[in-house]
Amino acid sequence: MPCAYLFIHQPFAFVIRVKMAYHPIRNIFAALKLLSNSASRRQKLAFENEAKILRGLNHPNLINIIDSYTDLDCEDEQGKKSQSTALVLELASNGDLYEYLAKTGRFDAKIARCYFTQLINGTFARVNRSNVFSM
């Protein structure tokens, strides 16, 4: 199935890159995590593993996968076309927790507890779903 997402930023050269995109039919912005088909076998396996894990998740404290594509046509900065594999993810328009912490600096204890609780809830959602600690 062809990708209906429109890239928002300039063309790029990459092995793994995340770009913002817009889906005009769904009227949503999303993050496209792209893996160049020229990536190493190890990078491809890691990317496939990430996609598999994300497909098993659905939690409000985690960025969820919307869709995925293989053999997606992309262009680099010189206009050379290449093919990529893409994960379409929910867009964290304000950045992730790491970026927020880098901008704001140290959290006070109350805010840190709030974020920690969200991280633990998201982690337990994954652990419970995969039965990692089942006996």
Nearest to 32 by CA among 80, 94, 91, 97: 91
Contact 113, 63 (CB under 8 A): no
CATH number listed for the domain at residues 1-92: 3.30.200.20
Where exactly are the structural domains of the chain?
1-92, 94-135
pTM: 0.68
State the Cα angle at 73 between 99 and 46, rounded to 5°: 50
pLDDT in tens, the chain (135 residues): 455 555 554 444 446 788 888 888 889 899 988 888 888 888 888 888 888 888 887 777 778 899 988 888 877 667 778 788 899 999 988 777 778 888 888 889 998 898 888 888 777 766 665 554 443
Token pair, residue 16, equals 């793994």
Q: One-letter amino acid identity for 1?
A: M
Residue 29 Cα to chain centre, angstroms: 13
